[in-house]
Amino acid sequence: MLTQVLALIAWTLVMWFWLYATRIPAMRSAKLDTRTVTRADVLALPKYATRPADNYNHLHEQPTLFYALAFYTQQTGMADPINERLAWAYVGLRVAHSLVQATIDFVPLRFTLFALASSALMAITLRDVIALLCT
């Protein structure tokens, strides 16, 4: 399960680069002074420059549960093939969610991907809780 953790961390860093690769040129085009820029200035930037930043922030929310759960699952010996596949599903769905949010931002698709990723996280959790209660 630790490889999946590494994969999602690496993806988060990809989004960090994407965020700055779009935001800095957009700020220059808008002639914003980085020393005095406000949140309102940033929110007024074109969507292509704000969506990657929004997603980067999202990758610091629910995935923190995934990281903790993955470490717990690994440490308790529950990193079986099913949980491994569920963890890869979570990572893949979060990457897909990022790509949708940072590009087209079609909310129904984005929500579906989020819900599916959340379901994978819930399945790992449920399997771990059942294993704990049955030991």
In tens, the pLDDT along 49-108 reads 999 999 999 999 999 999 999 999 999 999 999 999 999 999 999 999 999 999 999 999
What are residue 44's phi and psi, to 5 degrees?
Answer: -85, -5
Copy the structure tokens of residue 79. Answer: 């990193």
Average pLDDT of the chain is 96
Task: Kindly report the number of other CB atoms within 10 A of residue 83's CB atom.
Answer: 22
- State how far the Cα of 1 lies from the Cα of 89, in Å rounded to an integer: 12
**In angstroms, how far is the first alpha carbon of the chain from the final one?**
21
Residue ranges and CATH numbers for the domains of the chain are 2-133 (1.20.120)
- How far is residue 114 CA from its own chain's centroid? 9
- State how far the Cα of 120 lies from the Cα of 134, in Å rounded to an integer: 21
